[in-house]
Amino acid sequence: MNILDILPPSAIKVPLESGDKKGAIDELVELLAETGRITQPDNLRKVIWERELQRTTGIGEGLAIPHGKSNSSRNLVIAIGRPAQPIDFGSIDNKPVKLIVLLASPPEKTSDHIQALGKISRLMADPKFRAAAYAAPSADALYRLFERAEASAEVRR
């Protein structure tokens, strides 16, 4: 899977306006709706929040990957936001979150959904990539980071 296939530059927002967890999730869902990639944002917000209540998706080291399955889109979609200031996400390691990668897919595309979760996690597990992503000054810079990462992954393949 190539992240760039599902991540247009318009799905990245730097910085996010909101300073809290709920606001940031809402903002990314809104971004997806504004760019026409999902319908029924309310439904998506609800399922993402339900998952968040089950267990925080702030998986530590400043990264959060909120996700949910809903009929808001016909395919897997991703939105990425970097908050202006690190925000409290109730993360596993209690550290504030510096990058939020929001993922949504229709209920029947479970496989894509989970592959994307794995892919994002693997990518972000690289400390160098992570540091660069957290420091990205603009949406454009963040997009280029993903571009480069996918390109070097392509070379290795």
Task: Give the residue numbers marked as catalytic.
Answer: 67
- Of the two residues 37 and 69, which places its CB atom closer to other proteins in the complex? 69
- Counting contacts by CB under 8 A, is residue 85 touching other proteins? no
**One of 2, 9, 34, 114 touching other proteins (CB under 8 A):** 114
- Of the two residues 12 and 101, which places its CB atom closer to other proteins in the complex? 101
- Counting contacts by CB under 8 A, is residue 75 touching other proteins? no
Q: Residues 6 or more apart from 150 whose CB is under 8 A from it? A: 2, 3, 4
- Of the two residues 94 and 138, which places its CB atom closer to other proteins in the complex? 94
Give the Cα-Cα-Cα angle 26, 149, 91 (nearest 5 degrees): 40
Q: Residues 6 or more apart from 142 whose CB is under 8 A from it? A: 12, 14, 80, 82, 133, 136
Q: How far is the CB of 138 from other proteins (least distance, A)?
A: 27
Site residues for other proteins per CB under 8 A: 47, 50-51, 54-57, 59-60, 65, 67-69, 88, 90, 92-94, 107, 110-111, 113-115, 117-119, 121-122
